[in-house]
Structure 1
Amino acid sequence: MLKSINRYIYGPTPEERLKEWDRKLRTEQRQLDKEIRQLDLATTKARQSLKQLAKKNDVKSARLLAKEVVRTNKQKNRLTMSKARLGSIQMQMQHQASMVKVTGAFQKSTEIMKVSNQLVQLPQLSATMREMQMEMMKSGIIEEMMDDTMEALDDDELEEEADAEVEKVLFDLTDGKLGQAGAVGADLPAQKEAEEDVNTEAEMQRMQKELHDLLAG
């Protein structure tokens, strides 16, 4: 009864706060694991399609699909890094738990502030991390919240920065049949390319839609 009254007046205890934050962090880690598995599946299917396009010597369609592989790999790296950062906050929370036992209160942490500001930029984690940041500010763990916008991975960026990576993806995934390591691969002759455009447009639309559906799932 006394605990309930104290919780109503003063809010959760530091120990209760830590348990709730740990639960939220573990939930978000499981969700990131799920998305990473979906990206792995999407990449596997794209690789299979790339090899089929290599057999047809369809460079143009393969290049489009290779860009999707590059985009998927970038997203996977971002999610993997975010999962590691969640783990870093969990370790810092263990330190906070030790301090609570000694002092009865939380300690300020610039590391938690820095990592949480990085995580709040990821759309998948934004809402949860903003809520946690507000609670941590009230608890005295962090002093400020950042509102930086995560750098967008748009088509312009992909065109400007990923051409060499696309060539490497084509080279690696098609066992050297398409693309080059560090150089732009040759295109098909114009007449043959035009014929391939007609024959493969529907197939490429289907593959790209399937890949995007996997990424959105």
Structure 2
Amino acid sequence: MQTIRSFVFGPTPEEQRQKCNALVRKNARKLDRDIQNLGLLESKTKTFILQSSKRAERNPSQAAQAQRETRTFAKEMVRIRRQKARLATSKAQLHSVQMQVNEAFALRRIEGSIKKSTGIMKDVNQLISLGQLTGTMRELSQELVKAGIIEEMVGDSLPEEDEFEEEEAETEVDKVLTEVLKGRLPAKATPEEVPSVPVREEPVEEEGEEEDQEEMLAQMRGRLEALKS
């Protein structure tokens, strides 16, 4: 009977509110999982930084390669932390959306009408641009349009870039290395010497270990990209 009534007359305001809250909770759980995964990735990256630094100290013949590898891992940690901060901000925005939506429905019960909110619309639009939430946030925006809380949104927001200036990047990398290595900042390689992916310049004794490091770096980058998309 309830299904027939909803089909004929549409969902009640309470049903709309419950569906909107369910979508918000679904998005919040997704963000929590991604933040947790980034935390694990950050912990692994820290381990790789320590291992590369120790290898540079233990084997002078591998020092240059290990130092470059250490800075590459540190740069990955900078990107991971930036992504974690972005997701934490998005979770706060999502919580704000939930509060504003519940407030809008509460006013509707009291006043019998509902006012469109540009604030909710702005937050939802920003959250749609976050790759992790695009699908479910579009579904939430459609429900909010049906409820009369926001205007129908047109166009797509451009995703936020994760690029930053080289000078700024090197400063952040130095901060990460100082933190992880307890102030024992390794020597910098020149920009021409720093490869996008660590490579072996000459045969080394611990070849298996180095290959494992490179493979793990590739896997970390893949996981980070997956979390961002």
Work out which of the residue numbers 110, 114, 118 in structure 2 matches 1:110: 118
Secondary structure of the residue aligned to 1:125 is helix
**What letter is aligned with 1:14?**
P
**What letter is aligned with 2:189?**
D
- 1:182 corresponds in structure 2 to none
Change (3 A) 1:203 1:9: same
Secondary structure of the residue aligned to 2:135 is helix
Structure 1, unpaired ranges of 5+: 180-184
Counterpart Cα distance in 1 of 2:213 and 2:203: 11
8 Å CA contact retained: 1:54, 1:177 = no
Could you give the per-residue CA deviations for residues 173-212 of structure 1, whole angstroms, max 9, x where no partner exists?
Answer: 1112225xxxxx4339x9xx94588957524312213423
**What letter is aligned with 2:10?**
G
Change (3 A) 1:86 1:121: same
Matched, 1:208 2:217: yes
Counterpart Cα distance in 1 of 2:150 and 2:185: 51
Equivalent residues, number:
206
Q: How does 1:46-195 map to 2 (within 5 A)?
A: 46-57=45-56, 58-145=66-153, 147-154=156-163, 157=164, 159=166, 161-179=168-186, 185-187=187-189, 194-195=201-202
Change (3 A) 1:196 1:116: farther
Structure 2 length normalisation: TM-score?
Answer: 0.79
Could you give the per-residue CA deviations for residues 105-157 of structure 1, whole angstroms, max 9, x where no partner exists?
Answer: 43211111111011010011111111221222232211242522012225xx4
Structure 1 length normalisation: TM-score?
Answer: 0.83
8 Å CA contact retained: 1:122, 1:150 = yes
8 Å CA contact retained: 1:120, 1:129 = yes
Change (3 A) 1:160 1:18: farther
- 2:16 corresponds in structure 1 to 17
- 2:29 corresponds in structure 1 to 30
Change (3 A) 1:20 1:176: same
Could you give the per-residue CA deviations for residues 5-60 of structure 1, whole angstroms, max 9, x where no partner exists?
Answer: 43112311111011011011111111111111111111111111111212223210
More displaced stretch, 133-142 vs 28-37: 133-142
User: How far did 1:62 drift?
Assistant: 0.5
8 Å CA contact retained: 2:107, 2:114 = yes
Aligned-residue Cα RMSD (Å) equals 2.6
Secondary structure of the residue aligned to 1:152 is coil
Could you give the per-residue CA deviations for residues 73-125 of structure 1, whole angstroms, max 9, x where no partner exists?
Answer: 11111111111111001111221231122133432111111110110100111
Change (3 A) 1:64 1:97: same
8 Å CA contact retained: 1:14, 1:105 = no
